[in-house]
Chains A and B, each alone.
Chain A
Amino acid sequence: MSPALSIAAGSDPLPTLAAQFFAIDALSKALPDGIGRAADDAAYDQWAAAADACYVVVPTTPAGALALLDVILAREVDFIDETAVKALRVLRGGLASMVRS
């Protein structure tokens, strides 16, 4: 990580919150079809709550911004048209490159 970024390690909760979201996301994708309306709703609510927990936090580091963007892309990709998704993915590439540098 570039010292120029002066990133305060651990000061941004978003990477952790995003990891929690993606853990729930993976579990939710592994659920069998037809588990029942109540179980489906409960799984969705848990998944949405984990995403909402990320949305209410403003990133304070590039790693946090990247984590938030990943959650936005994962949650909203079906509701955003292809052009916009492509623009966000390009931006994600620049952000990821910055975080890695």
Chain B
Amino acid sequence: MQTRSRRAVVATALAGLVAGCAPVALASTSADADLIRLGGEFDRAEAELLSLWREWRRCEVLWRETVTARGISIEKSEDAVWAVHEEVGATAASNANDAGIDRLDRIRDAIHEIKPTTIAGLAAWAKAARFDGTSHYEREKAPEDRDFQTAAILDFIEVVEAMAAQAARS
């Protein structure tokens, strides 16, 4: 209940901010051009990772179903279980997902090399915090179904991103 009531008030306040009712005394500048560029790269890499993650999840489900359907036991035939993993594409999907995570890790590290001087630059740091502090599982959920920690992080990061969007418009 605490989460929901807090989310409700934050959501209401955010709606006001996004609608331009709350003044944001910030000006966007090009001072953080590198961070803004990295933030864009981060967005693209994160979208790609989400797609890779979904494919990996699909393959993992298929792997388990196939192993069960064929009556293969991991206790008796571990090699056969992993052969199915390879066969259904789960190994390739898992490796691709790992590569996507590595790519995001590198962009995240590059973001953290640059201290933000504007709210637009800080938005890149906020994206990195969202990636580091929450899971795909939680981010995929509807806001009311998210766990407390994800809600706490995402609420705050939404505020930062709304401020950055407001600054970009001003």
Interface range on chain B (Cβ under 8 Å from partner): 35 or more
Residue A41 is within 8 A (CB to CB) of chain B in the complex: no
How many angstroms from the CA of A60 to the CA of B82 in the assembled complex? 54
> Of all chain B residues, which has the CB nearest A75?
B152
Q: How many Å lie between the Cα of A65 and that of B126 in the bound state?
A: 12
Q: Which residues of B contact A85 (CB under 8 A)?
A: 133
Cβ A11 vs Cβ B115 within 8 A:
no
Residue in A4, A5, A90 whose CB lies within 8 Å of B128: A90
Contact assessment for B117 and A98 in the assembled complex, using a CB-CB cutoff below 8 Å: yes
Residue of B with least CB distance to A100: B115
On whether A5 and B26 interact (CB within 8 A), knowing A59-B159, A88-B129, A95-B122, the answer reads: yes
Query: How far, in whole Å, are A62 and B28 apart by their CA atoms in the complex?
Result: 13
Q: How far is the CB of B122 from chain A (nearest CB, A)?
A: 6
* Residue of A with least CB distance to B131: A87
Instruction: From B15-23, B48-56, B63-71, B83-91, give the one contacting chain A.
Output: B15-23
Q: How far is the CA of A94 from the CA of B14 in the complex (A)?
A: 22
Q: Contact residue range for chain A?
A: 35 or more
Residues of B within 8 A of A94 (CB): 112, 115-116, 122, 125
Cβ–Cβ contact B25 & A79, under 8 A: no
A38: chain B residues within 8 A (beta carbon): none
The answer to whether A65 and B149 have CB atoms under 8 Å apart is: no
The CA-CA distance from A87 to B150 in the complex, in Å, is 11
| A51-101 with Cβ < 8 A to chain B | 52, 55-62, 65, 68-69, 72, 76, 79-81, 83-88, 90-91, 94-95, 97-98, 101
Q: How far is the CA of A91 from the CA of B134 in the complex (A)?
A: 13
Question: Which 9 A-B residue pairings sit nearest by Cβ, starting from the closest?
Answer: A87-B133, A8-B25, A87-B132, A84-B133, A91-B129, A94-B125, A80-B149, A58-B13, A6-B27
Can you pick out 19 interface pairs between chain A and chain B where the beta carbons lie within 8 Å of each other?
A5-B117, A5-B118, A8-B25, A11-B25, A56-B10, A58-B162, A59-B163, A60-B22, A62-B119, A65-B163, A68-B159, A79-B152, A84-B150, A90-B112, A90-B132, A94-B125, A95-B116, A97-B116, A98-B116
